[in-house]
Amino acid sequence: MGRTIGIDLGTTNSCIAFSDGGHPTVIQSKSGSRVMPSVVAFSAKGERLVGLVAKRQAITNPKNTVNSIKRLMGRRYSEVVDYLNAVSYEIVENTNGDAAVRIMDRIYTPPEISAIILQQLKITAEEFLGEEVTDAVITVPAYFNEIQRQATKAAGKIAGFNVKRVLNEPTAAALAFLEPEGVKKLVVYDFGGGTFDVSVLKVIEGVFEVKATLGDTTLGGDDLDTKLVNWIMEEFKTETGIDLTRDNIAPQRVREAAERAKCELSMTQETDINLPFIATGDSGPVHLEITITRTLFEELAGELIKKTIPLCKDALEDAGMQIEEVDHVVLVGGSTRIPLVQKLVGDFFGKKPAQSVNPDEVVALGAAIESSVLTGQRKDLVLIDVTPLSLGVETLGGVLAPIIPRNSPIPMRNSRVFTTASDNQSVVGVHVAQGEREIIDGNRSLGTFELRGIAPAKRGEPRIEVVFEIDANGILNVSATDTSTGQKQSIKVNPSGGLSGTDIDRLRKEASANAEADKIKLKFVGLKNEADEVIYRASKSLKIAREELDKESWEQFEVEIKNLKLLRDGDDSLALEKGISEVRKQNESVSKLIEMFDTAEESATSEFLDSISKSEGE
């Protein structure tokens, strides 16, 4: 068996490392490079180019050069439509609805393109180590859902790797940064080419526990480049009257130059962009020559960079940690080289971010450390990850009852007991969903199943235990059991029902934007459920009290119950509240009168699973 290597399969660049006796080292290519651009190109002759050579020919061969493939991994075509114009190659919808890439009439899936990158990394590792390499730990953003993780695993397999673990990038960074002894709290601030995420970790004597993770999958260095590109194009247009956006090759040249300028501005106060023969004007060729200062770049990109700070605040809050408690802030990703990023992060946390690790290499080094844990070379480390969004089931009235709250450590098992909504109900529908909204519709549905054969009983009596289990790879298993009969039904949540990182952002943003409206809706749902309960009890009393009550009072009581039914089906919450209180009062006096009502009967559970076939039991 060969060695296990650690692979940081990045959006922009990839990096590999290996572990010797538990100590990680970056693997260099033959030419001495420590990172490789994650770029794949196909030449006119059908030749495959990978890494720097592919990146270098991008300007002359834009349609057949694929960069940032990570943004398409495990994504539906409908999820990436905003991204279509941001790349020079063609993104298409595969027959199964997934995003894919068309190059010279051939369709490539994102795992296939990623596999070409991984194959090159495998060759580099084998050349460097002088032996065959088959086992690997590959890192992914903490935000990747199950489908994206599976796609990454598939890419590894296609490339000929045995993928031993798919590891979260911030966890890898923490592993590489910290010595495992003692108790430490740290924040990993990861700002790369395509995404931003921040994770809060607690390390106690070698146990690395992610307490919270948050991010924005639509914010990265590419977006800062876009700000510069737009400004350069505008300036050029004002000066020459020429619109470069219409050209085939010019936008790609400007983008490359803008990125280079951005990187230079991390070291210098100003830089020049010179692009000769960028266009042809009335009097011949036109050149683009422009000076960009760091101040100008900060003005253009500052707003985007500032968007990362509230997310740091929220992540700390989710982790239940105060700013002062943070021992270290670790920077990951190329965009953290920007001085304004370092300043804003330092100001927010009140301490200078750690400079001891290279942000381009720290993730691969951490992956190599994890590989040494898996091969048993290191026994002093344990990793505990979290689930990024709450998981739960739909209850009566369309309310999400969370069973595993977001940022819970995985693997995780949790259960809750529910009951039926009507007498003799023999079937309940279990609808599993993921998200932060209290109303079910605002969340992502992951699947449904029915539990049949519930023993005949009064509404509220059966105890149906719903169990959620997430394994170490993030796969969710849900089961429902009627505790009196032992009747059980379960589903494994199909990965195609999972959420993409963008979904997670969207759901989180929507949840806070709609919190107020949801509260009102929720209160109304609660009232309707309460009305159901009151109607049920009052109808029971009404039946029994025919003898005890005089005709007029009995009929009056019946009318009030009928009215309450109408109010329950209407949309006037104030009237409903009043109706409930009146019928409840009336019922109390009737109950006293007949002295037969079983007031002691209070169900052990008060939540009703929404029934998809309620009528069967009625």
**Catalytic site positions:** 8, 70, 169, 190
Please check whether residue 163 is in contact with residue 523, taking contact to mean a CB–CB distance below 8 angstroms: no
CA angle 185, 191, 194 (to 5 degrees): 140
Alpha helices in 411-514 (DSSP H): 501-513
Residues 472 and 456: their CA atoms lie apart, in Å, by 38
**H or E element in which residue 13 lies:** strand 13-20
Determine if 148 is a binding residue for ligand AMP (CB under 6 A). Answer: no
Please check whether residue 415 is in contact with residue 483, taking contact to mean a CB–CB distance below 8 angstroms: no
CB of 336 to ligand AMP, least distance (A): 8
CB of 156 to ligand AMP, least distance (A): 19
Q: Give the one residue of 51, 193, 392, 617 binding ligand AMP; rule: CB under 6 A.
A: 193
Determine if 111 is a binding residue for ligand AMP (CB under 6 A). Answer: no
Is the CB of 193 or the CB of 474 nearer to ligand AMP?
Answer: 193
**DSSP β-bridge partners for residue 476:** 470
Is the CB of 12 or the CB of 587 nearer to ligand AMP?
Answer: 12
Is the CB of 304 or the CB of 580 nearer to ligand AMP?
Answer: 304
Q: Give the one residue of 4, 7, 9, 13 binding ligand AMP; rule: CB under 6 A.
A: 13
Residues 374 and 295: their CA atoms lie apart, in Å, by 47
In sequence order, the 6+-apart residues with CB closer than 8 A to the CB of 544 are 594, 596, 597
Determine if 216 is a binding residue for ligand AMP (CB under 6 A). Answer: no
Q: Among the candidate windows 9-17, 122-130, 434-442, 603-611, which touches ligand AMP by CB under 6 A?
A: 9-17
Determine if 497 is a binding residue for ligand AMP (CB under 6 A). Answer: no
Q: How, if at all, do strands 488-492 and 476-482 pair? A: antiparallel
Is the CB of 197 or the CB of 209 nearer to ligand AMP?
Answer: 197
Taking the CA atoms of 146, 147, 152 and 158 in sequence, report the sign of the dihedral they define.
Answer: positive
Q: Among the candidate windows 143-151, 331-339, 380-388, 519-527, which touches ligand AMP by CB under 6 A?
A: 331-339
Determine if 333 is a binding residue for ligand AMP (CB under 6 A). Answer: yes
* DSSP secondary structure, 413-428, as one string: EEEEEEB-SSTT---E
Residues 36 and 215: their CA atoms lie apart, in Å, by 25
Q: How many CB atoms lie within 10 A of CB 600?
A: 5
Determine if 337 is a binding residue for ligand AMP (CB under 6 A). Answer: yes
Using CB under 6 A, which residues numbered 248 to 287 contact ligand AMP? 259, 262-263, 266
Interface map 429-468 toward ligand AMP (x if CB under 6 A): ----------------------------------------
Number of residues that bind ligand AMP (CB under 6 A): 17
Please check whether residue 188 is in contact with residue 345, taking contact to mean a CB–CB distance below 8 angstroms: no
Is the CB of 52 or the CB of 594 nearer to ligand AMP?
Answer: 52
Is the CB of 194 or the CB of 497 nearer to ligand AMP?
Answer: 194
Q: How far apart are the first and last CA of the chain?
A: 64
Q: Within 13 Å of residue 543, how many CA atoms lie on the same side as its CB? A: 6
Is the CB of 266 or the CB of 573 nearer to ligand AMP?
Answer: 266
Is the CB of 10 or the CB of 442 nearer to ligand AMP?
Answer: 10
Q: How many CB atoms lie within 10 A of CB 209?
A: 18
Q: Give the one residue of 88, 199, 335, 390 binding ligand AMP; rule: CB under 6 A.
A: 335
Q: Give the one residue of 257, 321, 338, 365 binding ligand AMP; rule: CB under 6 A.
A: 338
Q: Give the one residue of 12, 150, 371, 408 binding ligand AMP; rule: CB under 6 A.
A: 12
Determine if 217 is a binding residue for ligand AMP (CB under 6 A). Answer: no
Sheet strands side by side (includes 428-434): 399-404, 391-395, 428-434, 444-451
CB of 36 to ligand AMP, least distance (A): 10
Please check whether residue 134 is in contact with residue 2, taking contact to mean a CB–CB distance below 8 angstroms: yes
CA 308 to centroid of chain Cα atoms: 16
Determine if 192 is a binding residue for ligand AMP (CB under 6 A). Answer: yes
Q: Where on the chain is the footprint of ligand AMP (CB under 6 A)?
A: 10-13, 192-193, 221-222, 259, 262-263, 266, 333-335, 337-338
